[in-house]
Structure 1
Amino acid sequence: MSEQNEFMQEAELIEVVENQLEDGNPIKVKETLMRLMMTGNSRDDAIAMIACCMSIEIFDVMKNEGEFNLKRYSSNLERLPDLSFMEGE
């Protein structure tokens, strides 16, 4: 399997975030989107930031064959837009 097939593409991550927003679950995603937009970020930029938080979780699940960590995901969402994606969360 190629690297391209192993990891979700950006469009797929955005689709996951959009589905979370539509479902209202977790509610922290909608709260984060609203907060980021109220502080001057465009909707597209805010969704991209949220998708980066999602990618951290998906990568961890794939790497460690574990479960999605909602607590860490929520914590990372709270840290936006200041979350450094280079920290190796």
Structure 2
Amino acid sequence: METNDKLREQIFEIIKNQLTNSDPPETKITFDRLRKQGFDDFQTRQMIGQCLAVELFDVMKFGKPYDNERYINNLIALPKEPFDKIK
């Protein structure tokens, strides 16, 4: 298994936990909204995963604290791709 596959599995596991626990609730709201817009399960998880990856990158690469507000703003903006900063 390649590193990217392992990383995707871990991100999808985090998303699964967020959906199960409704924490943050915006993950489930976004998931349901994107599914209603016609995206399949994998596409939806992948888009949410991109939002999560932005946060994980800053934490792991730069030692910055997790930015839950930016994560939620990026979720709300989907299917628009997430950015490091929401303006």
TM-score bracket, normalised by the shorter chain, equals 0.7 to 0.9
Aligned-pair Cα RMSD in Å: 1.7
1:82 to partner: Cα distance? 1.5
Alignment of 1:1-89 (within 5 A): 4=3, 9-83=7-81, 89=84
Instruction: Give structure 1 regions of 4+ aligned residues with deviation exceeding 4 angstroms.
Output: none
- Paired with 1:82 and 1:53, the residues of 2 have a C-alpha distance of 10
Work out the CA distance in 1 between the residues paired with 2:46 and 2:75.
12
C-alpha distance in structure 2 between counterparts of 1:24 and 1:39, whole Å: 20
Q: How far 1:64 sits from its partner (Å)? A: 1.8
Mind listing any 5+ residue stretches in structure 2 that lack a counterpart?
none
Aligned length: 81
Deviations 1:44-87 (A, max 9, x none): 1101110111010000111221211000000111111112x5x5
TM (normalized to structure 1)? 0.83
Q: Which amino acid aligns with 2:57?
A: F
**With structure 2 as the length reference, what TM-score do the two structures score?**
0.85
CA distance in 1, matches of 2:73, 2:63: 21
